[in-house]
Homo-oligomer: A and B are copies of this chain.
Amino acid sequence: MFRQPGQESNIINGKQDSSAHESVAGLIADLPLFADLEPSLHRQIEGISRLLTAAEDAVLSLQGEMPRYLHILLDGQVALTSTMADGTTAVILVVHPGEHFILPSVLAGLPYLMTARALMAVRAVAVDGVALRQLAEREPLLASALLRSMSYEFRGMVQQVRDLKLRTAAQRLGCYLLARVQDAEARKADFRLPFEKALLAAQIGCGQETLSRAFAALRRHGVETHGSRVILHDIPRLRLLAIPDGPGEFSPA
């Protein structure tokens, strides 16, 4: 077990968090993870949950520590990172509103294998991990909901492993950019990257120099960048290079 220097002071827990006692009443039923459950179960989950707010850069869970909460993100973004013994760190996932972290650690009752850091001010529901596990052991419908959710997450990890093994950095970047485009019919798009390029490189799984080369390689496929602004001039052409997964083919949707 190891720590990244300077992280401990930022750790969010009940005592340091000013909003610890804010009610989660009415929030639980709207969370995708719990949406299919009975109202009586929603109330039981409310009883073991609290609302949490944290500032940018706050650490919500620390690699190597025992899990206390399942966090379900309401607002903001959280990076899940993993650090090796030599101090190098990879971004494994970026969590978006409606998604949760880190369910496998909470359910296995094993130390967090990733650090969760707020990329901006965040708001989250924090569900007591031990109480959630006990509730799932009594309530098969809750257990089924958690199983289903983890199945989807697992599929996402398989996809990521396959991408890292088979796609070039330029293809992974191309897929990432294409996934930012909401309109499946669009031929052009213009948007801002949701976070800085160092984090983008870490998420795509390459160094910053490789990311710069990947952006340069994509220029020939109609990708223009100005700082964080990205313009896709020719989406069909970018698709030919990046070969994103079709909807029925691999993605969990």
Contact = CB atoms under 8 A, between A and B. Distances in A.
Contacts of A174: none
A127 interface: no
> From DSSP, what is the main secondary structure of chain A's interface residues?
helix
Q: Name, among A1, A111, A144, the residue most crowded by chain B CB atoms within 10 Å (CB to CB).
A: A144
B92 A158 contact: yes
A137 B148 CA distance: 11
B110 A252 contact: yes
Interface string A100-132: 000111011011011000000000000000000
A140 B136 contact: yes
A249 interface: yes
18 contacts: A2-B249, A85-B243, A89-B166, A90-B166, A104-B152, A105-B151, A107-B148, A108-B151, A108-B252, A110-B151, A113-B250, A133-B144, A136-B143, A137-B141, A147-B147, A147-B150, A150-B151, A160-B161
Contact of A158 (B113, B143, B152): B113
Interface string A141-157: 10110111011111101
Copies in the complex: 2
A225 interface: no
A37 interface: no
Contacts of A157: 154, 157-158, 161
A111 to B, nearest CB: 8
Q: Name, among A88, A138, A152, A249, the residue most crowded by chain B CB atoms within 10 Å (CB to CB).
A: A249
